[in-house]
A and B are shown apart, each in its own frame.
Chain A
Amino acid sequence: MKTVAALAKHTFKDSLRKKTPLVIFFLALVLLGCLQFLPAITPDDRLKLVQVVSSKAATFFAIVVAIFLAASSIPVDIEDKTIYSVLTKPVSRLAYILGKTVGLILVTGTILLLMSLISYGVVRLVALQAAPKGLAEPLMAKIPLYASSLIHQAEGEGAAQVPPGEMAGLSGSGKMEAQWQWEGIKISDFPAEEIALQGRFLVLGRVTGGTMKFVAINPTSGQKEEALAKLKPYENFTVSFPASILAPAGALKVVASAEEPEIYFGVTLRDLFLLKKPGSFTINFLKSVVLIFLQLLVIVPIAVVGSSFLSAPVSVTFSFFIYFCSNIVELMRALAHSLTEPGTGVFGASIIGHVHGPVEIPEQTLVVKIINTILKYFIYAISYILPDFSKFAPANFLADKIDIPLRAILLLLAYALLYAASLLTVSFFIFRRREVGK
């Protein structure tokens, strides 16, 4: 343990003295400086942009530093033969790997922290500029309360529960309704005068969007409140109700229906939520930094695995490739899923164009089917082995001013630690039998 600490401290010191982190740190500085001049239509949009860009830039730079340092760490030690004077001392190979990893996570974590401090300053500054232009609370963290169930009802059909993640359609012509139900509401969690609902639905039919009617019902008191909202595609909307609707506390229903016949809305359980009293922006920002740090917790061990058997350039490439794939896990699964569908997949896709009338999609032949099936499960397997980095991305939370739930952070922490532990085990077993004297 002491050995690991000594090695970690040493790795930290050595990495900082090599100045590589500083170069990228300055690059980040320049970029964040440029942010000041980004054009944006409204002050709010500008603030959003600054937050998204700085969060993504910080992630990117931290990851790049992490990959370069970690992926080259062991090969460089072997190349420089500095490893001779370490492994001939009472340092087990496991301690060596752990020391390196911990040290590198600390280095990249420190760099991330410095970049985040700059980001924070820039965001505060932009917010200050935005405030006089009529933006009441430019920086905050909205805390959403999601409904426990969503029920869809169309005239002539029965009511049906919409499972989480699935979408139900609401069209103005079909007399359809969607009903979100909340339970266990505490009045003290909400603002005193007004409560707000925020959401974003799929809007089809007209580019300028359409109107939706919301009716809030307290099932205990029977109180009903109505509100209309103009919904535009890809944009958040909010509707407000008097806070009295919450009393007596406990349950709340919100029924939504489309007002115009030509508009179609797609809704899911988590597309609409109640807004609790807002939380602190600073804490939310810190949480976003923690999320990025969790990415480092996974990417450093990935690069260390690479570096335990590859040369430095190959290992860097390998790590970037894995990182790239880990960001498109969902896409990989979608691709894998489509592989065995008729008309798609390797060798199976045929050009269908300039044909009028019904098109016949050719079935895949047996050989093609086998190849595609193997490929399908291969991609599936990889997509499940890889960590899903899109889960760790905080930029959207910041942009939408939504509080990052603590539960999610803890879950991701557990997930990251599990990954790191298994990766380091793999790394140890590879490195254990590696000849380090060239």
Chain B
Amino acid sequence: MQTDFAVETKDLTKVYVDFWGRPKVRAIDRLNLSINRGEIFGLLGPNGSGKTTTIKLLLGLIFPTAGEAVVLGHPPGDVATNSRIGFLPEESYLYRFLNAEETLDFYGQIFHIPRRERKRRVADLIETVGLSFARKRPLKEYSKGMSRRIGLAQALINDPDLILLDEPTVGLDPIGSREIKDLILELKKQGKTILLSSHLLADVEDVCDRIAILDKGHLQVVGEVDDLLSLKDTLEIRVRRISPELRDKIEALLRENDAELVSTEHPSRTLEDLFLKTIEETKSEDRSSPG
């Protein structure tokens, strides 16, 4: 299968079987996806819809029942291709007895990164994911969010071209989640292709160029986020200094023209906005106050 896409699947199907080989779950059913180089692609879907299964198939951790996948021009699991891939599993499954530095150093060795360069990259990445304060603590003592961060760092140790992130922001606090999203956008700027799965719609909305929605292993929707989310026949007007009379007039005008008024509340900021702002404010106060 020749392809210009970073990732392409053709009728990819995965049926989980039990010990005796009897089919149990059809987790992915004839999935056709193509992910362009340099884009951020979001894989959405409710729990158990097959997101993780798709990613595992793309990595060669499990083998398809039917169909095929091409990753960076090669079949999944290809050893040479793996040196250009970064993967953050659904949960961070790393060696519990190693600390952050040792963990990253070990993965760096696997990529044959020279010692000096490795040291520099390890330090940089720990800084980037905000774990400097815990770099000497064994991972078994890490909190969920911290594990997530070190997981992300290990996925980036080889400066990969294609990054697969399975629910990257799960378990992170809002700031962490914002930081990760910024990092993802930064990676895109560096020309990397990113495939992320999530059911946190806000995350996806923020960063993805294109998304696909899976349900029970079937591809339901695929397309550009802007296209999918913008409601072309809906208009939201926000007005300051509006008088009750003007408001009555507008409502009357709408009725005359047979347009349906959906809501007239004053827009509110999201909880996330509020939380972020509060934290941001206390942070800057801390800094300015002496002692």
Contacts and interface: CB of A to CB of B under 8 A. Distances in A.
A188 to B, nearest CB: 53
A91 B110 contact: yes
A9 B102 CA distance: 12
Interface in A74-114: 80-82, 84-92
A437 B61 contact: yes
Contacts of B95: 10, 14, 82
B79 A91 contact: yes
Contact of A6 (B59, B61, B109): B109
B89 A90 contact: no
Contact of B61 (A17, A82, A88): A88
A14 to B, nearest CB: 6
Interface stretch (B36-44, B80-88, B206-214): B80-88
A137 interface: no
Given A17-B97, A82-B93, A437-B62, A89 B112 contact: no
A80 B93 contact: yes
A89 B160 CA distance: 10
Given A435-B63, A437-B56, A92 B79 contact: yes
Interface in A5-55: 6-7, 9-10, 13-14, 17-18
B80 A90 contact: yes
Contacts of A10: 95, 106, 109
Q: Which of A6, A84, A86, A88 counts the most chain B CB atoms within 10 A?
A: A88
A13 B110 CA distance: 15
A89 B158 contact: yes
Nearest to B93: A81
A14 B96 CA distance: 9
Interface in A355-413: none
Contacts of A84: 59, 61, 87, 89, 93
A187 interface: no
A14 B98 contact: yes
A2 interface: yes
A3 interface: yes
B107 to A, nearest CB: 7
B91 A90 contact: no
Prevailing SS type, chain B contact patch: loop
A8 to B, nearest CB: 11
Interface residues on B, range: 20 to 34
A92 to B, nearest CB: 5
A18 B95 CA distance: 11
Most chain A CB neighbours (cut-off 10 Å) among B79, B82, B91, B96: B79
A206 B126 CA distance: 81
A435 B97 contact: no
Given A6-B106, A435-B62, A88 B82 contact: yes
Interface string B68-94: 000000000101101101010101011
B275 interface: no
B59 A82 contact: no
Contacts of B89: 81, 84-85
B93 A90 contact: no
B112 to A, nearest CB: 6
A14 B154 CA distance: 18
A89 B107 contact: yes
A81 B87 CA distance: 13
Given A88-B85, A89-B111, A82 B97 contact: no
B107 A85 contact: yes
B82 A91 contact: yes
A436 B87 CA distance: 15
B116 to A, nearest CB: 16
Interface in A243-292: none
A410 B107 CA distance: 37
B63 A88 contact: no
Interface in B96-124: 96-98, 102, 106-107, 109-112
A130 to B, nearest CB: 44
Interface string B36-70: 00000000000000000000100111110000000
A80 B91 CA distance: 10
Contacts of B158: 89
A200 B61 CA distance: 61
B224 to A, nearest CB: 29
B112 A2 contact: yes
Contacts of A89: 82-83, 107, 110-111, 158
Q: Considering residues A6, A10, A87, A89, which has the most beta carbons from chain B within 10 angstroms of its beta carbon?
A: A89
Nearest to B154: A85
Contact of A82 (B77, B82, B94, B102): B94
Contacts of B82: 88-91
Contacts of B106: 6, 10
Given A86-B110, A89-B110, A18 B87 contact: no
A2, A6, A90, A91 — most chain B CB neighbours (10 Å): A90
A436 B85 CA distance: 18
- The 10 A-B pairs at the shortest CB distance, nearest first, are namely A437-B61, A81-B93, A17-B97, A6-B109, A90-B83, A437-B56, A88-B87, A435-B62, A437-B62, A90-B82
Given A6-B109, A88-B87, 15 more contacts: A3-B110, A6-B106, A13-B97, A14-B95, A81-B93, A85-B89, A85-B93, A89-B82, A89-B110, A89-B158, A90-B82, A90-B110, A91-B79, A435-B62, A437-B59
23 contacts: A2-B109, A6-B106, A7-B110, A13-B98, A14-B98, A17-B98, A81-B91, A82-B93, A84-B59, A84-B93, A85-B94, A85-B151, A85-B154, A87-B61, A88-B85, A89-B82, A89-B107, A89-B110, A90-B82, A91-B82, A91-B110, A433-B63, A437-B56
